[in-house]
Amino acid sequence: MCRFMSDKALDNIRFPHSHLLGTEGLTPDVISLLLDRSESYVEQNRQADKKKSVLHGRTIINLFFEDSTRTRTSFELAGKRLGGDVLNMSVATSSVKKGETLIDTAMTLNAMHPDVLVVRHNDSGAVKLLSEKVNCAVINAGDGRHEHPTQALLDALTIRRRKGHLDGLLVAICGDIAHSRVARSNIHLLNTMGARVRLIAPKTLIPSAIDRLGVEVFHDMNEGLKDCDIVMMLRLQTERMHGGFFPSVREYFHFFGLDYEKLANAKPDALIMHPGPMNRGVEIASEVADDIGRSAIREQVEMGVAVRMACLELLTANLPTSGGAKP
């Protein structure tokens, strides 16, 4: 399926926000705009010549206070493929290590006139706070357990390309929901687009107020996976856990790890997804993760670059064309 917007059509459509901080509050039209635009980049990224000059003259700074493989590299590739200058700020070698605060770091970078700051931070809300202090566009690349909007967009693009639509689909998000910004961003986006979301996890890994988000909650994989179209697995985020959330990894896999036996409850053509990094044998069996007929995990990574190109393009289209970001 390839229905996307031409460059010309884009001239008349604007992304109605200065920043991309979350999927909460994005309308179906805005989500569709981002996904349609991403489609054109999927095609472009498969060509030998992947370069465009949409971001010519623009500066994008990747500011990651937490580890990342996929998100940081795909933002870097996205910026470069659109002809922008991309700088990766490594927190390990920056003045953050000398005690500089988040806001001081942001203000220092802001003084160098970047057009986009892509920020990942371990505190929920930190990226929004930063966006209120700088003059450029800010993209949330994951803040604590709050939101990770580009992950939800790339997941949606993957699903839409495989299933043709998002509305009416039954999506199971399984595992460590409590610590997952991926789960939150997906819940908002999928609900907005008319999909039905089920969460499957042990009681200790479901946040208390989650039912307010319009989801069904299950604590049994076999029950929760029944008739699902999409099975999205999440990593146990032990780095965010203080105390015992589950008895042992072995027991966790037994009850909540995705293997073929549990998967048999979902629809026969159910798609398997995982945002990565995967812990094989913990939340997912290796043979299921590598099942080329059913797993879309590699495709999710491919879609990540296209989605980030669309986000960078649409956000910078809102910036002034002379003088860079607002003074």
Active site residues: 70-71, 98, 120, 148
23 interacts with ligand NCD by CB under 6 A: no
145 interacts with ligand NCD by CB under 6 A: no
Instruction: Compute the least distance from the CB of residue 305 to ligand NCD, in Å.
Output: 13
215 Cβ neighbours under 8 A, 6+ residues apart: 187, 191, 197, 198, 199
Residue of minimal Cβ distance to ligand NCD: 235
- Choosing from 17, 50, 52, 70, the residue that interacts with ligand NCD (CB under 6 A) is 70
> What is the identity of the amino acid at 247?
P
71 interacts with ligand NCD by CB under 6 A: yes
Question: Please, what is the end-to-end C-alpha distance for the chain in angstroms?
Answer: 42
Instruction: Compute the least distance from the CB of residue 288 to ligand NCD, in Å.
Output: 17
The span from the CA of 77 to the CA of 301, in Å, is 12
Number of chain residues interacting with ligand NCD (CB under 6 A): 11
- In 3D, which of 132, 138, 134, 113 has the Cα closest to residue 58? 113
The span from the CA of 262 to the CA of 117, in Å, is 41
173 interacts with ligand NCD by CB under 6 A: no
Give the per-residue contact string, 224-243, with ligand NCD (x = CB under 6 A; - = no): -----------x-x------
Q: Is the Cβ of residue 81 or residue 181 nearer to ligand NCD in the bound state?
A: 181
152 Cβ neighbours under 8 A, 6+ residues apart: 23, 182, 185, 186, 188, 189, 190
Which spans of this chain sit near ligand NCD (rule: CB under 6 A)? Answer: 70-71, 142, 148, 151, 181-182, 235, 237, 275-276
